[in-house]
Structure 1
Amino acid sequence: MLTFPNAKINIGLNILRKRPDGYHDLASCFYPIGLSDALEAIPAQKAAFKTVGQGIRESEVNLVSKAINLLAKDHRVPPLSVFLLKGIPIGAGLGGGSADAAFMIGMLNDMLNLRLSADQQEDYARQLGSDCAFFVRNVPMYCYEKGDRFEEIGLSLKGLQLFLVNPGIHVSTPAAYAGVTPAIPPLDLREALAGPISGWKDNVVNDFEKSVFQAHPELAIIKNRLYDAGALYASMSGSGSSVYGIFQNLETMRNKFKNCFVWQGELN
């Protein structure tokens, strides 16, 4: 069975408060995009795992393996030959590894006829990572608490164009959090997103940008260049280092971001 785990972008990301368990409560909108990996699994005599793609990290493989092992605790899972082709940049604020794990759960559910509900699949996914559960339903969601609780949000960007740039800069997530002072924003993110996209620039904020841009000013340059090119809205996704722009109409700008990974596609 073959499936294509897709990436997501964060539209707004507010760090609200530090929790007693050491995590942070946050608010964000997760929006799925067409950039994807390819994940194949077939029953085999002996379990095997092969990955192809630049920058593969062991944690990326482990997350898919952990998804298999997690379901194997409660269900009979045969040995599988798994092949993962990475198209989503690693550690880029796009949720690629989380998507792979969640799609693995969904694939096993279909392959083995486990009849797990979406809620049950989300419960498994939450054990693997904060944003894994998002990819079970894989529709625009307002996320809250640790980023693992979701409610549907009436946001559609269908027909608009996304241009995404990843310069391959490693951003330390702990360092990104250390640079943020948690605070309740003056305007609730859901209310801000309900307004026209033309007003998002001032009201829909990624709290990580301030400290991450100070450490990596080239990311701020990318964001400004996207606005200069006519973006309706531009932002860093997650804790970086991907930066994207949302456009009404867009001609390719691939040549303007040399030595960077770029992706362009229509939003749904």
Structure 2
Amino acid sequence: MRSYAKINLFLHILGKRADNYHELQSIFYFPEIYDELEVIRSDKFELYVAGEFADKIPQIPKENIIYKTLLELKRLYPEKITDISVFLTKNLPVAAGIGGGSANAATTLNVLNELFALELSKEKLAEIGLKIGADVPSCVYSKPMIVTGVGEGIELLDGHTENLLSPLSSSLTLKWERGLLGNNFFPKLNILLINPLKSVSTKQIFEMGFKNYSEEIKIEKNKLFKQEYIFELLHRTKNDLQENAIKLCPEIAEILESLNATNPIIARMSGSGATCFAIYETKEKLENAALQINENLPKYWVKTA
């Protein structure tokens, strides 16, 4: 099963709560870039990792998010869940601001739900995922969405989503109906991603603090199926973590300078970095930009979607 990367089209930090967690506002987008995960029943937990970033995955079970996900399901459904063997093709860089680990945990939830016939709704899987990581609930769906709170407030944007049957949990806020865009769809974006093959500590970024918090912006949700409106929205938003991340990883500034030289609609960092992305009006402009970036930054991880 595919385990999709997550991109924050923008990321605003609205303030700090009494429990020291930060409130955020963001739009998540899931491009066609992914890890791959296969799972079979086993008499003991085993993890086999291949792919470009295989050497970055912890082999000690207690340090691995896939194993933590298995343990959580075992705790909740001890009579149904056995051990598993996991085959992970790790194509996405680790600790890169694109939700790779969270996506792997979410995919594990989806796969085990099917493998062990748990018959859990997506909402219930997302509720379980929130105990594993703040980005896991969104990755359970892997569809365009507005995210608020500390990551638990999810408003799906595509118009083809099914209705939820179970009542809303107290820990997870989901707004579905038929999707916020009615019968319309969030458009596919032409995206270029770059990572300098360096990780950035999310914890350090938040510990550095913020000069000012952002105000929550108004999003005209009924216009989000129009590419022009999305571009306009991106021009009046930002990533509030970007400034601190650049102090920890100056290569981010270098990447953004190179991306802006390709005349994109927007170029910014995703999540807590160090992955950056740029969006282009057409596939042709995207491909031309990728050629230019590969020439200028040949040692970096570069992908198009």
- Give the TM-score taking structure 2 as reference length: 0.79
Partner Cα distance (1:57, 1:189) in 2: 41
SS at match of 2:279: strand
Choose the corresponding residue for 1:7, options 2, 5, 15.
5
Partner Cα distance (1:201, 1:144) in 2: 17
Q: CA deviation at 1:182?
A: 4.7
C-alpha contact (below 8 Å) 1:189/1:204 kept by paired residues: no
Q: CA deviation at 1:190?
A: 2.5
Q: Detail structure 1 runs of 4+ shifted over 4 Å in the superposition.
A: 58-61, 191-195
Q: CA deviation at 1:136?
A: 1.5
SS at match of 2:8: strand
Q: Which deviations, in whole Å up to 9, do the C-alpha atoms of 1:184-211 show, x marking residues without a partner?
A: 33x6062598563443454110011122
- Give the TM-score taking structure 1 as reference length: 0.89
Q: CA deviation at 1:84?
A: 1.4
C-alpha contact (below 8 Å) 1:213/1:220 kept by paired residues: yes
C-alpha contact (below 8 Å) 1:15/1:182 kept by paired residues: no
1 or 2, which has the higher strand percentage? Answer: 1
CA 222–47 in structure 1, closer or farther in 2 if over 3 Å, else same: closer
What is the correspondence of 1:197-236 to structure 2 with a 5 Å cutoff?
A: 197-200=230-233, 202-236=235-269
Equivalent in the alignment of 1:55:
56
Equivalent in the alignment of 2:279:
246
Q: Percentage identity across aligned positions?
A: 31
Equivalent in the alignment of 1:69:
71
Partner Cα distance (1:230, 1:14) in 2: 24
What is the correspondence of 1:1-268 to structure 2 with a 5 Å cutoff?
A: 3-52=1-50, 53-57=54-58, 62-75=64-77, 76-153=80-157, 154=181, 156-158=186-188, 160-177=189-206, 178-185=208-215, 188=217, 190-191=219-220, 194=224, 196-200=229-233, 202-249=235-282, 250-251=286-287, 252-253=290-291, 254-265=294-305
Deviates more, 1:97-106 or 1:40-49: 40-49
Partner Cα distance (1:129, 1:181) in 2: 26
Q: Which deviations, in whole Å up to 9, do the C-alpha atoms of 1:77-121 show, x marking residues without a partner?
A: 122111112111100000010111111111111111111011111
**Aligned letter for 1:262?**
V
SS at match of 1:38: strand
CA 42–34 in structure 1, closer or farther in 2 if over 3 Å, else same: same
C-alpha contact (below 8 Å) 1:48/1:82 kept by paired residues: yes
**Aligned letter for 2:136?**
C
**Aligned letter for 1:67?**
T
**Aligned letter for 1:56?**
I
Runs of at least 5 residues in structure 2 that lack an aligned partner in the other structure? 158-180
**Aligned letter for 2:295?**
N
Equivalent in the alignment of 2:167:
none
Q: Which deviations, in whole Å up to 9, do the C-alpha atoms of 1:242-267 show, x marking residues without a partner?
A: 000011232232233211111111xx
CA 59–181 in structure 1, closer or farther in 2 if over 3 Å, else same: farther
Deviates more, 1:119-128 or 1:227-236: 227-236
Runs of at least 5 residues in structure 1 that lack an aligned partner in the other structure? none
Greater relative contact order, per chain length (Cα 8 Å cut-off, separation 6+)? 1
C-alpha contact (below 8 Å) 2:21/2:150 kept by paired residues: yes
SS at match of 1:222: helix
